[in-house]
Amino acid sequence: MTYTDEEICTQFGEDPHSYQGAVSPPIYQTSLFTFRNFKEFTEAQKLERKNYVYSRGVNPTVNILEKKLAALEKGEECKCFSSGMGAISAVFFTLLNSGDHVVLINNIYGPTTQLIDYLSKFNISYSFVDHHLTNFHEMIQDNTKMIYVESPGTMLMKVVNLQEITQLAKAKGIITAIDNTWSTPIFQKPLTLGFDLSIHSLTKYIGGHSDVVGGAVVGNYDLVDEIFQYGYQLNGAVLGAHDSYLINRGLRTLPIRLKQHQENALKVIDYLSTKREIARIYHPSLEEKENPFLKNQMKGYSGLLSFELKGANFESVSRFIDALTLFKIGVSWGGYESLVNSPVKGDNEQQLIESGISPGLIRLSIGLEGAELQINDLEKAFQQLK
Ligand code: PLP
């Protein structure tokens, strides 16, 4: 049976008649589950992945969210975590061994890069490949165990040809994992393009309301089961029932919210394209010609974008950002609210230039307030620059 994404987000995995017909599933706020007799208890403990024993295992409220996310990604299984980083570290800790090598492709989220670097103390090494996949083949070593990708990235929003990666990885028996947070499974389903694991920070679009932190890993039964046993149960980054309820509530409106984020972002991009103060805008919608593979890879684009102010420095970036009122200054992205941020800190310009990032880079998370209000706010900031 196939379900539409909208059906999955609104109904899939729910069974109101098993909880008094409640249309909104209960929050099973419990740390443990009790049993009628000792034999039942002992049997349940033998397979914690499938039985409700302890909430650092499976919990019915979390389970509903996991069923939906697995179905959206067209994967067999999902495990949720208390943060995106909890999910990412569980994948690394479980699947990498001493002596393994990892290939990282594109601009990977800073803490993920820090984590893989930290794992050098366990004799795990890594190499970077840029989004054009220059030197991709040469970077693969005999001990390469995993290829870890972000597409789009979240600073310059660069995309990578996912099928090119999975073809080579499959031929060499290498595990492929992607951080799919930017697109969500509504706009991109990497498992259908051959990826083994799709990872999410649920804190962004999927939660969607900037009131909860969470993460998830989706893949085939065996891989997720291994991650469940080790990276999840032993590291213990457990997503609570209440947070799962909030994320599940966010998920119900994900398709319609993303459509609106996209519509607003495309209008803001049209407006930004008219500005002579801007050297370059970064969003995958602007790079379809150079990346014909996007037609099969992505169904739409979310609202995270960045642009470079010409000849800017910390002072002019600050002046621009401080003039905004609708766009709030803050980390993270993917919520209902518009946000602004910049990697420029006043003492890292040279470092940014060396990593290919302009010291005039400003990142916008385009929220749901409407393009007209967003453009008016940005216009005020451009006036301030003059
Ligand atoms: N992946 C990406 C692309 C992110 O932007 C973030 C957070 O900003 C994470 C993972 C980590 O997620 P969390 O903050 O939920 O741990």
Do 235 and 284 sit in the same domain of this protein? Answer: no
CB 27 within 8 A of CB 245: yes
Interval between CA 351 and ligand 1 midpoint (Å): 22
CB 375 within 8 A of CB 268: yes
CB 92 within 8 A of CB 84: no
Domain boundary among 252, 275, 298: 252
Instruction: Give residues with Cβ within 8 angstroms of 12, minimum separation 6.
Output: 3, 67, 68, 71
Do 44 and 188 sit in the same domain of this protein? Answer: yes
CB 186 within 8 A of CB 299: yes
Do 127 and 20 sit in the same domain of this protein? Answer: yes
User: How far apart are the C-alpha atoms of 277 and 312, rounded to whole Å?
Assistant: 9
Whether this model's pTM surpasses 0.75:
yes
9-45 per-residue burial string, b: 16 or more CB within 10 A, e: under 16: beebbbeeeeeeeeeebebbeeeebeeeeeeeeeebe
Do 31 and 140 sit in the same domain of this protein? Answer: yes
For 377, other C-beta atoms within 10 Å of its C-beta total: 18
- Residue 82's domain is classified under what CATH number? 3.40.640.10
Do 219 and 267 sit in the same domain of this protein? Answer: no
| Per-residue tens of pLDDT for the chain, all 386 residues | 899 999 999 999 999 999 999 999 999 999 999 999 999 999 999 999 999 999 999 999 999 999 999 999 999 999 999 999 999 999 999 999 999 999 999 999 999 999 999 999 999 999 999 999 999 999 999 999 999 999 999 999 999 999 999 999 999 999 999 999 999 999 999 999 999 999 999 999 999 999 999 999 999 999 999 999 999 999 999 999 999 999 999 999 999 999 999 999 999 999 999 999 999 999 999 999 999 999 999 999 999 999 999 999 999 999 999 999 999 999 999 999 999 999 999 999 999 999 899 999 999 999 999 999 999 999 999 999 88
Which residue is closest in CA terms to ligand 1's atom 8?
Answer: 332
Domain boundary among 252, 286, 303: 252
Do 44 and 156 sit in the same domain of this protein? Answer: yes
Instruction: Lay out the sheet containing 361-365: strands in order across.
Output: 278-282, 304-309, 361-365, 339-341, 328-329
Do 181 and 264 sit in the same domain of this protein? Answer: no
- Residue 335's domain is classified under what CATH number? 3.90.1150.10
Which residue is closest in CA terms to ligand 1's atom 12?
Answer: 84
Interval between CA 372 and ligand 1 midpoint (Å): 29
Say yes or no: CB of residue 243 within 6 Å of ligand 1.
no
Do 233 and 106 sit in the same domain of this protein? Answer: yes
Do 153 and 228 sit in the same domain of this protein? Answer: yes
User: How far apart are the C-alpha atoms of 373 and 355, rounded to whole Å?
Assistant: 34
Q: Can you give the residue range of the structural domain that contains 149?
A: 5-252
Say yes or no: CB of residue 57 within 6 Å of ligand 1.
no
Do 43 and 192 sit in the same domain of this protein? Answer: yes
